[in-house]
Every structure is written in structure tokens, then in C-alpha cells.
């Protein structure tokens, strides 16, 4: 029985929804953006700042962070210089999220979406590796565009642009903070195309796999 399931996913593939369905069907906890608030508490950095750090690594933001000239605060107003742990702020964010993810996984059976959780948990000595299931969800570009158009009422062109940019940022974040490559099959137990298998069927597969392995 797999008690810790991580879902990595392409933007627009329905990975978050699938993760939620899996958690509901197994009676597991479900964590996605909640981790940002927990990491804020853990690190003393603001949730706003953590969110920006997660999203903006490809821009000058990271460069500034690495030079130690960046600004953040615990008040939600990202204008106060910090760096009290002597680490680049982006590393502090990653370490705070890492700690939160490991504690959550140790605490209760759960499904965790995104946040390099597959890497964090695969490399955590505290985690029983036989209880860990790492899944990657992807989809055909047409299906992803349709999904983003429907959910966020975007035009087709904007949806496509957003998909490409978001996944670039996700890959960049993952590749910066882990030793692995985002989307590389080596990191995962299974990779499922949700547009050919179907959203509900994909959730069902993951539930079955968790139960039977």
C-alpha cells in the first residue's frame, strides 16, 4: 500500500484535480498550495514572497536573489530585505517547503501536488521509500488548451502561451533546486497522458496502483 503519493503535472493536464480525486477516494490528506502558507510559517518569509519565488525563477528575480539584493517580508509587503539564515532566499524557500513536505508525509497518508515533492521525498532518509508513489500527469496540447480556455476563460492563443510559459517555469524551478530534470521518466513510477486515458480513469489507475503495490 502506498501511503505517500506525489503528483507532478503539466499545466492544463488536470493533474491537480486528479490528485484531489485520488486523495478523496483513498481518504488521504491533500496538499497543494497549502504548502506555501506552511512554508511561510516555517521560514518566517511571507507567503506572497514564497509564491513569487516559486513562479519567477526564470526572470531577473532569481538573479537578484542569488546576489542577495532581493527583498521580502513576513508581512505580505515584499519590500523588506531579509536573509537571516545566511542562505540565498530562494534556497531558504526551498528548504522551508522541503521541511514541510517531509513532515506532512511522515504525519499522515497524503497526496502532494507539485513543489518538487517527488525529489524531496525520494531523497529523504526519514521516508519509507516503499510507501512512496511518484506519478507524472501530462496531456496532449490541444486538450490542455481546451481545459485552460474553459476554466480560465482564456483565448486559445493566450491559453497556449500560458501553458508553455508555466511549464517552462515549473521545469526551471525543479531543475534549479533538484539534481534531476523535470518530466524525466527516471523520477517517476508512472507517467499518464490524461487526455488519452481520461481524468477520472487516470485517478482510478493511481488509486488502484496505490492499493496494489
Query: Interface with its own copies by CB under 8 A: which residues?
Result: 136, 138, 140, 183, 185-186, 188-193, 196-198, 201, 205, 209, 212-213
Q: Which is nearer to its own copies, 119 or 136 (CB)?
A: 136
| Beta bridge mates, 41 | none
Rounded CA gap, 174 and 166, in Å?
Answer: 12
Segment holding 110, helix H or strand E: strand 110-113
Q: Which is nearer to its own copies, 21 or 39 (CB)?
A: 21
Q: Which is nearer to its own copies, 45 or 145 (CB)?
A: 145
Q: Which is nearer to its own copies, 5 or 38 (CB)?
A: 5
Report strand pairing: 132-138 vs 190-193. parallel
Q: How many CB atoms lie within 10 A of CB 153?
A: 9
Q: Which is nearer to its own copies, 8 or 70 (CB)?
A: 8
Q: For residue 1, with 0-12 CB atoms within 10 Å meaning exposed, 13-18 middle and 19 or more buried, which class applies?
A: exposed
Q: How many CA atoms lie within 13 A of 202 on its CB side?
A: 26
Helices (H), the chain: 15-26, 34-43, 47-55, 60-67, 89-107, 117-122, 141-152, 156-177, 194-197, 199-212
In the complex, the smallest distance separating the C-beta of residue 64 from its own copies, rounded to whole angstroms, is 34
In the complex, the smallest distance separating the C-beta of residue 138 from its own copies, rounded to whole angstroms, is 5
In the complex, the smallest distance separating the C-beta of residue 134 from its own copies, rounded to whole angstroms, is 8
In the complex, the smallest distance separating the C-beta of residue 193 from its own copies, rounded to whole angstroms, is 5
In the complex, the smallest distance separating the C-beta of residue 168 from its own copies, rounded to whole angstroms, is 16
Amino acid at each position: 500500500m502506498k501511503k505517500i503519493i506525489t503528483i507532478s503535472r503539466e499545466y492544463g493536464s488536470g493533474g491537480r484535480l486528479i490528485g484531489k480525486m485520488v486523495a478523496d477516494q483513498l481518504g488521504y490528506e491533500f496538499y497543494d498550495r497549502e504548502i506555501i502558507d506552511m512554508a511561510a510559517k516555517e521560514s518566517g518569509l511571507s507567503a506572497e514572497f514564497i509564491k513569487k519565488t516559486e513562479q519567477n525563477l526564470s526572470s531577473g528575480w532569481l538573479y537578484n536573489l542569488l546576489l542577495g539584493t532581493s527583498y521580502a517580508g513576513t508581512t505580505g509587503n515584499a519590500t523588506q530585505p531579509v536573509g537571516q539564515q545566511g542562505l540565498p532566499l530562494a534556497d531558504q524557500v526551498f528548504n522551508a517547503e522541503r521541511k514541510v513536505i517531509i513532515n506532512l508525509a511522515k504525519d499522515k497518508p497524503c497526496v502532494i501536488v507539485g513543489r518538487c515533492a517527488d525529489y524531496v521525498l525520494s531523497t529523504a532518509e526519514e521516508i519509507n521509500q516503499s510507501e512512496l508513489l511518484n506519478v507524472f500527469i501530462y496531456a496532449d496540447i490541444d486538450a490542455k488548451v481546451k481545459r485552460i480556455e474553459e476554466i480560465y476563460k482564456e483565448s486559445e492563443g493566450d491559453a497556449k502561451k500560458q501553458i508553455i510559459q508555466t511549464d517552462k517555469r515549473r521545469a526551471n524551478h525543479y531543475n534549479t533546486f533538484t539534481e534531476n530534470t523535470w518530466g524525466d521518466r527516471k523520477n517517476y513510477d508512472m507517467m499518464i497522458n490524461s487526455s488519452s486515458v481520461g481524468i477520472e480513469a487516470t485517478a482510478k489507475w493511481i488509486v488502484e496502483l496505490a492499493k496494489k503495490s
